[in-house]
A and B are shown apart, each in its own frame.
Chain A
Amino acid sequence: MVLALDVLTTAAILFIVTAGLMVIFGVMKIVNFAHGALLTMGAYASFVVTQLKLDPWVGLPLALVVGVAVGMLVEQVIVRPLYKRPLDAILATWGLGIVIGQLIVMAFGREVQFVETPLKGAISVAGIEYSAYRLLLVPIAAGLCLLLTALLSGTRFGVKTRAVIMNEDLARGLGIHSGRIRFITFSLGAALGSLAGALMTPLSSVEPNMGLAYLINAFMLVMVAGYSMVSLLATCLVFGACQVLVSTFVSPVLGGLTIAVLAAFTLRIRPQGFSHG
């Protein structure tokens, strides 16, 4: 039973962390390698809230705001010029991640920080005590998935966004303001990344490099999952389960590698991942 809960919560964590990357990659086909740094930024926003002795839940909207702001800046300055050079976009955002990381170190120092958790204690589930906060992440992940799916497929914004990504010149020629669409999408993705960081703080140590581990896994998951939120959720479940199983029964170190290795082989065998062709 603990195993099942572990799997569910791990999948939820993976989804929350990856959603922002997915929005940007799936919709813009640019891999935002600064995602890890944005995560870290959001975590430090939570830390600031703790320092200011405010209600820990305030950390979430703060992280969102910071994420949107940084996302808007990054889109204009870095991503926009690299739209036609996707491999270079990986590099530039990675460089950006380094820059953000260094700025965080200069502002907050290298030490691990403590952040107040919004929901303490444990809940009893089927006779087992399980961290309440971890369990909360499951409905949060589900809600996020629903919201994003509705946004991308149901709204006019979603169709316009997909059009812009398929053929920007054509979309512009039909009257769609592509610059605005990309701007909004990237800011949304960055905000989600930052939010994820804030949500992760009760679970992991807050230090300048915390985003890196999440980045690699998120990246691999996005490559496998294709372009829909629902397939991402499914991928997180499957791969999350594998990671938990390997960590529990084999070794935690290999468990950390599971997602990366599994994703690599999945892509080799089925290049389009889990998406529908």
Chain B
Amino acid sequence: MSAIALNLQDVTSGYKASIVLRKLSMTVSGGEAVALLGKNGMGKSTLLKTIMGYLPKKSGTIQVNGLDITHAPSHQIARAGIAYAPQEHALFQDLSIRDNLRLGLPKVSVFDERFAEIEPIFPVFKSRLKQFAGTLSGGEQKMLLVARALMMRPSVILLDEITEGLQPSVIDRLAQALLWERNRRGTTLLLVEQHVPFALKVADRYAILKQGEIVDHGDAKDEGAAESIFGHLCV
């Protein structure tokens, strides 16, 4: 059952004049979780933004579940089954938690049902649906992000440094939530991370990005994975 969920072929993209991704190719099978690691400025966030259509592709193609989204506008890409949690400005601070969760859904009527599903994983939101998202703490906001993504019932989830700035207990919760989701629905995951232990825990495979190209990859559950990764990150 592992059809290819995400397929990137020779994708080149960047900001205005500068090129960040160079002819990058990668495939993620359905139900797989891949961690993208690498130093800062190496193109990890850019890759996610390119997939989501925020950055124009100078060349190459991207397919999601066989559907070509290379030139599609962002909202269509989201509707094609990709849930994206950006690193910054990921929530509507002045809207309630409920509204933040609702906005990703195709129809308001499914809210209650889907919220009930994720409620056991994120119990903290149930009594605070009317609260403004901006008043939540950093960790709670990240949890809200993941909750929103889960409620969209996507086929692919893209996470950009979801663990940034979080304390270990919250990181743990998130890892569990993501593993739960994968078990439950076989969702494909692509996570950009700096927190290597978290990445290795959640992912099946990892890939290291350097100067916009994949320079190494491997099995996340390998014994020597962590060491090999750190080798790349420190040079």
Q: Does A associate with B in a complex?
A: yes
Residues 152-171 (chain A) with a chain B CB within 8 angstroms? 156, 159-160, 162-163, 166-167, 169-171
Interface size class of A (residues with CB under 8 A): 10 to 19
Number of interface residues of B (CB under 8 A): 24
Neighbour of A169 across the interface among B74, B99, B148, CB < 8 A: B74
Residues in chain B near residue A170, CB distance under 8 A: 86, 89-92
Q: Closest CB of chain B to A146's CB: distance in Å?
A: 22
Residues in chain B near residue A156, CB distance under 8 A: 108
Contact A166 B74 (CB under 8 A): no
* Selected interface stretch from A87-95, A173-181, A190-198: A173-181
Contact B52 A173 (CB under 8 A): yes
Known: A162-B95, A166-B94. A172 touches B78 (CB 8 A): yes
Residues in chain B near residue A174, CB distance under 8 A: 75, 78, 103-104, 148, 152
Task: Indicate whether B84 reaches chain A with its CB closer than 8 angstroms.
Answer: yes
Residues in chain A near residue B86, CB distance under 8 A: 169-170, 173
Residues 45-87 (chain B) with a chain A CB within 8 angstroms? 52, 54, 73-75, 78-79, 84, 86
Residues in chain A near residue B91, CB distance under 8 A: 170
Known: A159-B99, A162-B95. A167 touches B89 (CB 8 A): yes
Task: Indicate whether B120 reaches chain A with its CB closer than 8 angstroms.
Answer: no
**A178 — nearest CB in chain B belongs to which residue?**
B75
Task: Indicate whether B44 reaches chain A with its CB closer than 8 angstroms.
Answer: no
Residues in chain A near residue B99, CB distance under 8 A: 159, 163
**B78 — nearest CB in chain A belongs to which residue?**
A175
* Additional A-B contacts beyond A159-B102, A169-B74, A170-B86 (15; CB < 8 A): A162-B95, A163-B99, A163-B103, A166-B92, A166-B95, A167-B89, A170-B89, A173-B52, A173-B86, A174-B104, A174-B148, A175-B106, A176-B103, A178-B75, A179-B73
Provide 29 A-B residue pairs closer than 8 Å at the C-beta atoms, listed in order of the A residue: A156-B108, A159-B95, A160-B103, A162-B92, A162-B95, A166-B92, A166-B94, A166-B95, A167-B89, A167-B92, A169-B54, A169-B86, A169-B89, A170-B90, A171-B75, A171-B103, A172-B73, A172-B74, A172-B75, A173-B54, A173-B75, A173-B84, A173-B86, A174-B75, A174-B78, A175-B75, A175-B104, A175-B106, A179-B73
